[in-house]
Amino acid sequence: MSWTPGDTGFTPRGAPGPRTLIRRLREIMAAETAPQARLDALVKSIATNIVADVCSIYVRRTDDVLELFATEGLNPEAVHATRMTMSEGLVGWVARHRQMINLSDAKAHEAFSYRAETGEDPYNSFLGIPIIRSGQVLGVLVIQSVAQKGFSEDEVDGAQTVATVLAEIVSGGELLEEQDAQDVEALLHKPEHAVGTPIVPGVAMGKVVLREPEAKAHPTFAKDVAAERLRLADAIASVQKSVDDMIAADRSLFGASKEVLEVFRLFAYDKGWVRRLEEKVLAGLSAETAVEQVQEENRKRMQRVSDPYLRERLHDLDDLSRRLMRTLGGEAGDGIAVPAGAILLADSLGPVELLEYSASALGGLVLGDVSATSHAAIVARALELPMVSGVREIIEKAATGDEIALDGATGEVHLRPPGTVITAFEDKAQLRSRALARYDALKDEPAVTKDGVAVDLQMNAGLLLDMAHLEETGAKSVGLFRTELQFLLGRSLPSKADQEAFYAQVLDAAEGRPVYFRTADIGSDKRANYMRGPREANPAMGWRGLRMSLDRPGLMRTQIRALIAAAGTRPLHIMLPLVTTVEEVRLAKAEIQKEMDRHEKHVGPLPEDIQIGVMIEIPSAAWDARAMAAEADFLSIGGNDLAQFFFAADRETDEVSSRYDPLSPTFLSFLERIIREGQQGGAKVGYCGEQAADPLMTLSLLALGIDRLSVAASAIGPLKEMIRSVSFHELRDALAGMITKGGTSLREDLIIYARQAGIVLPMG
């Protein structure tokens, strides 16, 4: 058999365009020929159209090997003989990274792997495009040429169009023999597993419902600018009215989460947003194109913001844009029906959009890019919907109707789970149901160890809707109320009247239970759009917290004035964030005293008791804990920040946050010193933050002498049950021995001890 490399019937420039090629592909698929003959005809047509020396199609087998199924230009004897793993060669690189690669000199790339049997020696340029369907790489389309040049943008666009069409054809099985088609089918429906960020605890199993992005065709330019402007104005008014109606609706959910929807309404009525849309239309664009362009501009602007909380506002803007696009397309309606128990999958989601998905019917949420502070997460908690974020790979591979299981406590997500996983999740769901029943039965019982040591279990909160969990969990107080959320959610600095009304509602909802208000921890790393200040390279260690408040006394005094007024004659607890020095505490106390004097002189009686506390989040404050305690009524160790500064490891950076464990003997010894010094200084010492919800960390803190813990509402029941199974004195002695022994983490030692001591560790 004679064969010459490059003998492809090279077509000169001016070859047919993509439309012609797609028509030709359709003709090939309609022909009554064998699958291999169709493949051979396809690669020949593609090479001719794109004007390339080589076109090859590699298909992924179930063992993750990429096999050459057809080629025009390479040695035909290599077909079905050349096979490579996904970690081998440029073809493997494309499949593994799920990315296109366009090279002028393929041999110079580090992933290049020479295969003599293909006869590819003469070819220099290499264009590889993954063939993807339902998130799965089914194969790779390869275009090569002798000329040492990269492929042009038009050639790449044409090849990508072909790859998209090939994905549909390959997944349909029409190009492949029966067994090969079955292998592709198995790839498309194989089980997938990922671990993301747990957002809302709970176990859920059900059918996938995808929130598909709108892709309706629409004109780019307006035929009649005046008419298009009117059309846009009508659509905006319709969206605004729909949000107004939602807030006015007499539903208990909206009463609990009204402030979240109010913030969304601020976006809908934002004059700047409306003006930018109108400017685009006046420039000659269609209303739909204007919405798309402004949406993209908002995304770019918000992604430049360093604070993760503020970046989450992008989801509200996206939600609003999608609603406007649906309205322009005549698709606006009252809610989106979903099957009962369905699991909603979306890359991003706004709070109002979530409520439209017949939220009462949903069983859970799997989102691609949503943090625990997002509005969607806030509403999901109010709905008690199990939720996991950060698993885009699952969303990309899912299809509506697929089975899915998720655990919102561990972050586990199983797509198309096998029977063994389904059984395990059914058992987990039953165990969780029984556990929740036990926690509910314990909610009015004290958190006391077996040998009589009482622990004050407090709840973290930040919004009015969180306050309902006080009664549900039996928490004795709110140990940390994050007041900065009111500053960050709004479009302007909240007035004294707004703050006073809000704090009064919080205290009313607490029904006599103490609420520890942390003054606004805002600044460089938590900044709303209306705030101005320096952009810092390391904002977590910059101008924020008490530092910023002392430099802007007007902001701090307004908040203190509102807190005093809201409390009336009730006790008031104020907590100062990110304290560095004792001098800062004295300055803050002086500002608070000024407001107390002013209130007593001009308004009336002060709260019956005002307690001022200090958050220990910085090593300098920790080392001076005794002096801090002498100035304060209580200390609260902010474990999350303290640990990241102690280990010099940003907790928001995956590469370093996983390099340390707060259960290390060195950190626990540091905490022991803080607790001892604080107590000897005369202050009560508590602990707050996500760390305290870790049952093993809770055991360590108890052993070190902490008897006040402020945690997420969902952690109170499990921790109370565990505390009631502990013998404090035995635990204290055991931990002392572990710390003396040293090591990088006591996690495994604590697990072994807990099992041997019969301590009930929470599930998950």
Domains of the chain and any CATH numbers = 18-188 (3.30.450.40), 443-757 (3.20.20.60)
Can you tell me the mean pLDDT for 15-20? Answer: 56
Per the DSSP assignment, residues forming a β-bridge with 139 are 59, 131
Distances (CA, A) of 229 to 120, 278, 320, 321, 325: 57, 7, 18, 16, 14
Kindly give, in sequence order, each residue whose CB lies less than 8 Å from that of residue 413, ignoring residues fewer than 6 positions away.
Answer: 193, 194, 195, 196, 366, 388, 391, 394, 404, 405, 406, 407
Greater model confidence, 508 or 214: 508
Q: What per-residue string of b and e applies to 632-661 under the rule 16 or more CB within 10 Å gives b?
A: bbbbbbbbbbbbbbbbeeebeeeeeeeebb
Q: pLDDT-derived band of residue 568, with 50, 70 and 90 as boundaries?
A: very high
- d(CA 258, CA 300) in angstroms, rounded, equals 29
55 as an active site residue: the answer is no
Q: What is the pLDDT of residue 513?
A: 95
Q: Which of 183-187, 382-386, 435-439, 572-576 has the highest mean pLDDT?
A: 572-576
Given a cut of 50, whether residue 8 has pLDDT beyond it is no
Q: What is the pTM of this model?
A: 0.62
763 or 142: whose pLDDT is higher?
142
Instruction: Give me the pLDDT at residue 221, please.
Output: 73
Higher model confidence: residue 687 or residue 22? 687
- The neighbour count for residue 66, using CB atoms within 10 Å, is 24
> Does residue 238 have a pLDDT over 80?
yes
pLDDT of residue 253: 41
Strand partners, 311: none
> How far apart, in whole angstroms, are the C-alpha atoms of residue 376 and residue 649?
28
Q: What is the pLDDT of residue 1?
A: 34
pLDDT at 184: 59
Lowest mean pLDDT among 402-406, 409-413, 537-541: 537-541
Q: What is the mean pLDDT of residues 457-468?
A: 84
Strands (E), 73-146: 83-85, 101-103, 125-133, 136-145
What pLDDT shows up at residue 4?
38
Could you tell me the pLDDT band of residue 532, with boundaries at 50, 70 and 90? Answer: low
Q: What is the mean pLDDT of residues 243-250?
A: 67
| pLDDT at residue number 582 | 96
Residue 169 reports pLDDT greater than 90: no
Does residue 522 have a pLDDT over 90? no
Max mean pLDDT among 58-62, 73-77, 189-193, 238-242 falls in 73-77
Please give the Cα distance from 415 to 366 (Å, whole number): 11
Give the Cα separation of 98 and 94 in Å (integer): 6
Average of per-residue pLDDT across 651-674: 81
What is the DSSP code (8-state) at residue 448?
Answer: B
| Phi, psi angles (nearest 5°) of residue 717 | -60, -55
The residue that leads in pLDDT, 491 or 734, is: 734
Identify which of 143-152, 374-383, 447-456 has the greatest average pLDDT. Answer: 447-456
Query: 756 pLDDT exceeds 90?
Result: yes
φ, ψ for residue 458 (rounded to 5)?
Answer: -110, 165
Q: For residue 183, what pLDDT is reported? A: 60
User: Is the pLDDT score of 325 beyond 50?
Assistant: yes
The per-residue pLDDT of the chain, averaged, comes to 82
pLDDT at residue 360 tops 80: no
Catalytic residue from among 469, 573, 599, 688 = 688
Query: Which member of 315, 375, 414, 573 is catalytic?
Result: 375
**What is the percent of the chain with per-residue pLDDT over 90, rounded to a whole number?**
41
User: Does the structure show a pLDDT above 90 at 54?
Assistant: yes
Strands 197-200 and 387-389: antiparallel
- Most confident residue range from 195-199, 269-273, 299-303, 548-552: 195-199
Q: Which of 434, 439, 441, 370 is nearest to 408 (CA)?
A: 370
Q: How confident is the model at residue 11 (pLDDT cuts 50, 70, 90)?
A: very low
- Tokens 């709108």 belong to which residue? 214
Q: What is the pLDDT of residue 9?
A: 33
pLDDT of residue 90 exceeding 80, the answer is yes
